[in-house]
Amino acid sequence: MPRPEPDAYFMGIAIAVRARANCTGRRVGAIIVRDGRILSTGYNGTPSKMRNCEEGGCHRCAHPEDYPSGQGYDLCICVHAEQNALLAAARFGVAVEGCTIYTTLQPCFGCLKELLQANVREVCYLKPWESRFGEQYAALVERLGGADFRAVAIDDPGAQWALGRAGTTERTQGHEVLGP
């Protein structure tokens, strides 16, 4: 087996982290890396010590028919993978300034703001989507630096599973519409 390039290696680990996600809408994994070393991981789901989505812990995930697409996120108790990676680093006193994040889904508007505020220097994502807030999202990407916001193309055998409910119905992530 050939040795993977760093992007493929780290995105492969983010895919493995995604396997722990318990959101029924979409499953996302993320890792924060500095100098070729993993500092923190995160996956999306309910907060620690709460019933997970698969057990009905989040009303929005358990009853998607009650919420129009793109609405009710203020009631959703799930924490995004990127947020969980940032929060885990903070909880254990690990600085993330100047780091790179690898995430299996392009960060939503809110997560991208949080990554910028934490001074993460590079965002690498597996699956893209198009924001309905294109101009504002583009401003955040520009602030990061366009070359430091990039897709990483690797094989994703669990891509259909990771879509969760989103694979069978049109759903959104945060306030944005998912791309193809």
Residues marked active site are found at 82
What is the helix, strand, coil percentage profile of the chain, to 5?
35, 20, 45
The 8-class DSSP code of residue 58 comes to S
Question: Which ranges constitute the DSSP H helices of 92-152?
Answer: 109-117, 134-144
Count of residues in the chain: 180
Q: How far apart are CA 45 and CA 47, in angstroms?
A: 7
- Max CA pair span of the chain: 48
